[in-house]
Structure 1
Amino acid sequence: MRTALVIGTGLIGTSLALALSGRGVRVHLADTDPDRSRTAAALGAGTEEQPEGRVDLAVIAVPPALIAPTVAGLQRRGAARAYADVGSVKGGPRRELAGLGGDTASYLGSHPMAGRERSGPLAATADLFEGRPWVLTPTPDTETEVLNLVLELVALCRAVPVVMDADAHDRAVALVSHAPQLLSSLLAARLGTADESAVRLCGQGVRDVTRLAASEPRMWLDILAANPGPVADVLAELAADLEETIRSLRALEAADEAKREGGAAGIEAVLRRGNAGRERVPGKHGAAPAAYETVAVLITDQPGELARIFADAGRAGVNIEDVRIEHATGQQAGLVQLMVEPVSAPVLIASLRERGWSIRQ
């Protein structure tokens, strides 16, 4: 791939343009908002100049409802050898393109499973896709050259290609991406009317669950409008689970001991099903999740403290597998949770204590 055209210079479009430009591909940028394409170009993502002839690959990074008409328009003017989109919904745009008379053989739907709560070109980064799954949805009529060019795009962005059926992809992202966004927003919305005394008690658990609620509403409305059925199916199943859980909780308030026992059994069943589901979430490097030991260390909010604790762990010969920080409300301190292999935990604890760190068991 020597040349590419990126239509849409938001977070995803600008990020992949930065990755391609950084690896020697000449990238042409286009956006309905000239300020966005100008910003992306200023960041080094490519040039706003129109390509002189056909580019090797046109990448369409626009809202799902605009994918098919954008691809069809590019195809009519012969803008590229191959066309790919990076939208989060795959089945609908392909069917719409066929309905518009577009060439489905030169088009391949794809979806990089990466993103941030922030949007726009200023949030973009060339390493956004590194190590992340990138779904490809070829069909029997997809041209080999098209598939190879999109695979090259994935490789240049250092992502991991995953081949799926388009409709299966849409059902999958409804469960692992779209429904979680709505659930995060629903819980965060409860905080909007909560008493201030309750909000002040928010800890890391609430921060984790509501992180997605910071996302751009307009962008998510576009996504959800393109995949409403599968998302509604997931939420309907969750609603049934919630109703059963509510009944179990009410039973815990009953005077009858048998009802309380039944309520407790219902709640335990939900929690155990949650344990089982959580264990299926891929762990580090996509492998099966590992059972790490958590070493919690009190840390002050001072420059260089995180670097110092990581350096001290390195001196102890311990690899930090993952890390989380829980901030103390109203104080310049918090807990840094270091996830390590169980056999390494005693070594790390002893070493950090020797160096003056305060360990919280």
Structure 2
Amino acid sequence: MKIGIVGIGLIGASLGWDLRQLGHEVIGVSRQQATCETAEQKGICDRASCDLASLEATEVIFICTPIAAILPTIERLIPHLQPQTIITDAGSVKGAIVEPATKLWLNFVGGHPMAGNSESGIAAFEKGLFVDRPYVLTPTPATVPSALTTVDELVRSLKAIVYQTTPEHHDLAVAWISHLPVMVSASLTGACLAETDPQILDLAKKFASTGFRDTSRVGAGNPEMGMMMAQYNREAVLRSLYRYRDRLDGIIDSIASKQWSEIEDLLATNQAARPDFLNSND
């Protein structure tokens, strides 16, 4: 199969590499000529350029750009495509994308690979990134069944764990386990930086170890990506933040009133529940 990838960053490059290992011909498009050259040199793409017209003969196109660029990219692609070409995306928000994208191009299938790390760009790509990781597809009543089947089969060939749900349910769930952690993590670092005693702040930086590193990691990723999560999934992110704030206020009240058993019960409940979020795909 001839497959196009627009956006050869972490996700796009990882897709390109893995799909090529499965025997597909991969054609990449990036805004940066240097990225195109790197993609060819590393074997991520058979060919790569800055020209969307190079994708005119592709059968499936993965759009792996930032969220804000997905719809404009589809609009720019349309003049170059055959009617049967399938387009899918890798954006972390689906409600703001799937319906307008389907109106632009009938053979559109919303997708979101739940894989990656805090790095970005082609240098961060990983071989086998999607193995045993969730990959969410978000069909709607307007989705063409054959297009959905094709994307589903391609994703499964990457050994990803495929889930199908609505764009709305996707955004509500992802707000909890992806977008909320980014905001909370960023707030943690921001709170530390608000320390007014420079000596204490300096000591905190020197003492920081695994606990701070693990908790602050997701908030230290690509700022543009984090901003777009908040912008394009605004209602779901606010919903999760309000509920998180309620929990945090409860912890503050328990500590202020010296209700140590309440703190212990909360921590015990969380300790027991955490594996359900981490082992559900085993």
Question: TM-score of the superposition, structure 2-length normalised?
Answer: 0.88
Residues 275, 265 of structure 1: CA spacing in aligned structure 2 closer, same or farther, 3 A cutoff?
same
Q: Write out per-residue CA displacement over residues 199-241 of structure 1, whole angstroms, 9 at most, x where no aligned residue.
A: 3333322222122233121222123211111111111111111
> The residue matched to 2:81 in structure 1 has which SS?
coil
Offset, 1:57: 0.2
Q: Write out per-residue CA displacement over residues 22-45 of structure 1, whole angstroms, 9 at most, x where no aligned residue.
A: 221111111222222322222211
Match of residue 278, structure 2, among 265, 275, 282:
282
Tell me the distance in 2 between the aligned counterparts of 1:96 and 1:65.
Answer: 13
> The residue matched to 2:254 in structure 1 has which SS?
helix
Contact preservation (8 Å) 1:63, 1:223: no
Tell me the distance in 2 between the aligned counterparts of 1:206 and 1:111.
Answer: 28
The answer to whether residue 9 in structure 2 is matched with residue 20 in structure 1 is no
Offset, 1:246: 1.2
Aligned to 2:94: 90
Tell me the distance in 2 between the aligned counterparts of 1:242 and 1:191.
Answer: 17
The answer to whether residue 148 in structure 2 is matched with residue 147 in structure 1 is yes
> The residue matched to 1:37 in structure 2 has which SS?
helix
Offset, 1:48: 1.7
Aligned to 1:203: 209
Tell me the distance in 1 between the aligned counterparts of 2:71 and 2:24.
Answer: 25
Residues 52, 83 of structure 1: CA spacing in aligned structure 2 closer, same or farther, 3 A cutoff?
closer
Paired amino acid for 1:206: F
Structure with bigger helix share is: 2
Tell me the distance in 2 between the aligned counterparts of 1:85 and 1:52.
Answer: 15
Q: Write out per-residue CA displacement over residues 310-335 of structure 1, whole angstroms, 9 at most, x where no aligned residue.
A: xxxxxxxxxxxxxxxxxxxxxxxxxx
Aligned to 2:244: 238
Match of residue 63, structure 1, among 62, 66, 81:
66
Contact preservation (8 Å) 2:56, 2:80: no
Contact preservation (8 Å) 1:170, 1:227: yes
Identity %: 30
Aligned to 2:185: 184
Paired amino acid for 1:7: V
- Number of aligned positions between the proteins: 272
Q: Please, which runs of 5 or more residues in structure 2 have no aligned partner?
A: none
Contact preservation (8 Å) 1:5, 1:58: yes
Question: TM-score of the superposition, structure 1-length normalised?
Answer: 0.70
Residues 52, 59 of structure 1: CA spacing in aligned structure 2 closer, same or farther, 3 A cutoff?
closer
Tell me the distance in 2 between the aligned counterparts of 1:191 and 1:38.
Answer: 41
Residues 219, 37 of structure 1: CA spacing in aligned structure 2 closer, same or farther, 3 A cutoff?
farther
Tell me the distance in 2 between the aligned counterparts of 1:204 and 1:185.
Answer: 16
> The residue matched to 1:200 in structure 2 has which SS?
helix
Moved over 3 A (4+): 49-53, 190-194
Q: Write out per-residue CA displacement over residues 102-153 of structure 1, whole angstroms, 9 at most, x where no aligned residue.
A: 133x000000000111100011122111111100111233223211221232
Structure with bigger strand share is: 1
The answer to whether residue 265 in structure 2 is matched with residue 264 in structure 1 is no
Contact preservation (8 Å) 2:94, 2:138: yes
The answer to whether residue 6 in structure 2 is matched with residue 3 in structure 1 is no
Aligned to 1:217: 223
Q: Write out per-residue CA displacement over residues 330-354 of structure 1, whole angstroms, 9 at most, x where no aligned residue.
A: xxxxxxxxxxxxxxxxxxxxxxxxx
Tell me the distance in 1 between the aligned counterparts of 2:264 and 2:119.
Answer: 37
Offset, 1:265: 4.1
Once the two structures are superposed, the pairs formed by residues 1-361 of structure 1 within 5 Å of their partners are 2-46=1-45, 47-48=47-48, 51=54, 53-79=56-82, 81-98=85-102, 101-104=103-106, 106-192=107-193, 193=195, 194-252=200-258, 263-283=259-279, 286-287=281-282
Tell me the distance in 1 between the aligned counterparts of 2:204 and 2:72.
Answer: 48
Tell me the distance in 2 between the aligned counterparts of 1:52 and 1:141.
Answer: 24
Aligned to 1:325: none
Contact preservation (8 Å) 2:92, 2:112: yes
Contact preservation (8 Å) 2:133, 2:160: yes
Higher RCO (CA < 8 A, seq sep 6+): 2
Offset, 1:52: 7.3
Q: Please, which runs of 5 or more residues in structure 1 have no aligned partner?
A: 253-262, 288-361
Tell me the distance in 1 between the aligned counterparts of 2:26 and 2:104.
Answer: 24
Aligned to 1:309: none
Contact preservation (8 Å) 1:69, 1:97: no
